[in-house]
């Protein structure tokens, strides 16, 4: 199962919106005869890749045990049912980490295997498998993506100087690590303030990047410049979220530029964040990676939209400046969001702190 989980890790950057799954086939003598992981959308799943690998090696799959990090699917989606492929291959046992939370599967794959006389075990590697697919589980069980907020800040919690200068607070190593977290997301969310102030591309600039997450811009009045650098990223979807009431010609100009303009009217002339998360889930967005300023960050915290904080903290003090989220003032300590540390690591000269909202 450790080998299968390592394979699933390799799938994480290429397979969204599908879950990252790994599969290892072992014969009766305990020898690995095939292995594979989920491919890009519309291509083979982990079990099929492992069976193909065994075939390429000239190995017999009858009587083998399959170790797979998620329940084999039992429905016809973009590909055929993996449970049927394992049955046809003659495996005698399947060890799965978790039941698939997708209502179209949800135990049906395991039942199909059992009905075919295959021994089934569930539970090995469950925690690691769920962590690999935390966004997929969120979308399936909560009908909303997993929201991870990335912040680069000083030791005193400032993300920019009073004049807006923020490049660069953290080290090149921290920025590269941030790209790796961008790469695993299905969407990057930012605000119009960041677009106007920094003119960022907000793309993944890693040598082995195979896809670009969708860029979602919170832009209530549709002020995104038509000449902004964000349009320079090839084959990336851009979704601009407005609050309604904007000039129709301006909306059409953005559509002509290639944007999907989504109007979600909310209170106070701002768009509705809960509606946005529901719509992103409908569009098969598993993980949202937030890179925004203090105002949008605060709005996300206030609506309980954030699940996890990814904080890169530089060993410097900036004094006055923009906070990581313009939340205050609170009158009681209990009013502030409470998080639990799940990881603290050194990245270059900085610290990378991962903290998760308690109970998630």
Closest CA to 289 of 191, 140, 182: 182
User: How far apart, in whole angstroms, are the C-alpha atoms of residue 355 and residue 359?
Assistant: 11
Could you please report the per-residue DSSP string of 294-355?
A: HHHHHHHHHTT---EEEEEE-S----SSEESS-----SSGGGS--EEEEEEEEETTEEEEEE
Question: Among this protein's residues, is 71 annotated catalytic?
Answer: no
As a whole number of Å, the CA-based R_g of the chain is 23
- Residue of 47, 71, 287, 291 with catalytic role: 47
The residues with which 257 forms a beta bridge, in sequence order, are none
Tokens at 273, concatenated = 């964040």
User: How far apart, in whole angstroms, are the C-alpha atoms of residue 23 and residue 33?
Assistant: 11
Asked whether 216 and 192 are in contact (CB, 8 A), the reply is no
User: How far apart, in whole angstroms, are the C-alpha atoms of residue 272 and residue 295?
Assistant: 15
Q: Please count the CA atoms within 13 angstroms of the CA of 306 that sit on its side-chain side.
A: 28
Burial class (CB in 10 A: 0-12, 13-18, 19+), 153: buried
Beta strands 350-357 and 308-313, pairing class: antiparallel
| Residues labelled catalytic | 47
């Amino acid at each position: 199962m450790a080998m299968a989980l390592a394979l699933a890790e390799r799938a994480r950057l290429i397979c969204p919106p599908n879950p990252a799954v790994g599969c290892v086939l072992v014969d009766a003598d305990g020898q690995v005869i095939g292995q594979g992981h989920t491919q890009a959308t519309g291509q083979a799943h982990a079990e099929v890749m492992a069976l193909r690998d065994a075939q390429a090696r000239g190995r017999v799959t009858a009587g083998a045990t399959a170790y797979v990090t998620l329940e084999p699917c039992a429905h016809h989606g973009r590909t055929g049912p993996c449970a049927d492929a394992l049955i046809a291959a003659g495996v005698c046992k399947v060890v799965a980490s978790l039941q698939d939370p997708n209502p179209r599967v949800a135990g049906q794959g395991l039942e199909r295997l059992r009905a075919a006389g295959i021994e089934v075990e569930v539970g090995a590697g469950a925690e690691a498998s769920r962590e690999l697919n935390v966004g997929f589980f969120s979308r399936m069980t909560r009908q909303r993506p997993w929201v991870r907020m990335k912040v680069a800040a000083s030791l005193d919690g400032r993300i920019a100087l009073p004049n807006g200068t923020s490049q660069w607070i953290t080290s090149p190593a921290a920025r590269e690590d941030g790209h790796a977290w961008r790469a695993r997301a299905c969407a990057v969310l930012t605000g119009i303030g960041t677009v106007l102030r920094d003119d960022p591309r907000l793309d993944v600039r890693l040598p082995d990047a195979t896809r670009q997450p969708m860029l979602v811009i919170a832009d209530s009045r549709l002020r995104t410049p038509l000449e902004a650098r964000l349009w320079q990223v090839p084959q990336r979807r851009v979704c601009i979220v407005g609050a309604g009431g904007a000039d129709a010609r301006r909306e059409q100009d953005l559509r002509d530029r290639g944007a999907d303009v989504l109007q979600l009217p909310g209170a106070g002339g701002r768009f509705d964040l809960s509606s946005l998360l529901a719509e992103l889930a409908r569009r098969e967005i598993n993980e949202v990676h937030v890179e925004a300023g203090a105002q949008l960050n605060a709005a996300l915290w206030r609506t309980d939209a954030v699940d996890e904080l990814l904080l890169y903290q530089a060993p410097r003090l900036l004094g006055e400046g923009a906070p990581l989220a313009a939340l205050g003032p609170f009158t009681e300590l209990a009013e502030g969001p409470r998080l639990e540390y799940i990881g603290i690591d050194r990245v270059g000269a900085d610290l990378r702190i991962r903290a998760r909202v308690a109970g998630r």
